[in-house]
A = this chain, B = another copy of it.
């Protein structure tokens, strides 16, 4: 039917997965991935454990445990929701923000090293590709 598109899809998928893997493996992380994802989720606006469990596709008890661990390390604060006593509201501590920032910086620094020898033209291609991909997977 449409083999060209399948080939493209495969190439794009492989490239994205390899980049992700290298970023994960080769850059410094102070925390395991599931904890970082939660910090990132909160920084992106998630407020409750339930929201985060849905977003991370993880069970509610798993998220409880992860959040408890983050709270133990003083990276996240839990406070009761004044409007709904069943809920709790999550915020990043200063330490949590810093941990997240330094992880992002380390990952970006890895990517910068990979991209710094590219021509201006190649950089434009990558920037456009990033935009196209984010648009394509958000539809």
Q: Which residues of A contact B (CB under 8 A)?
A: 2, 5-6, 8-23, 25, 57, 104, 107-109, 111-112, 114-118, 122-123, 125-134, 136-137, 139
Cα distance, A137 to B114, chains bound together (Å): 6
Q: A16 with B11: in contact, given A5-B115, A132-B118 (CB under 8 Å)?
A: no
Cα distance, A109 to B19, chains bound together (Å): 20
Nearest-neighbour CB distance to chain B for A44, whole angstroms, equals: 11
Cα distance, A12 to B16, chains bound together (Å): 9
Nearest-neighbour CB distance to chain B for A72, whole angstroms, equals: 27
Cα distance, A127 to B95, chains bound together (Å): 41
Query: Is A18's CB under 8 angstroms from B134's CB?
Result: yes
Q: A126 with B115: in contact, given A16-B16, A108-B6 (CB under 8 Å)?
A: no
Q: A19 with B23: in contact, given A6-B112, A114-B137 (CB under 8 Å)?
A: no
Query: Is A8's CB under 8 angstroms from B128's CB?
Result: no
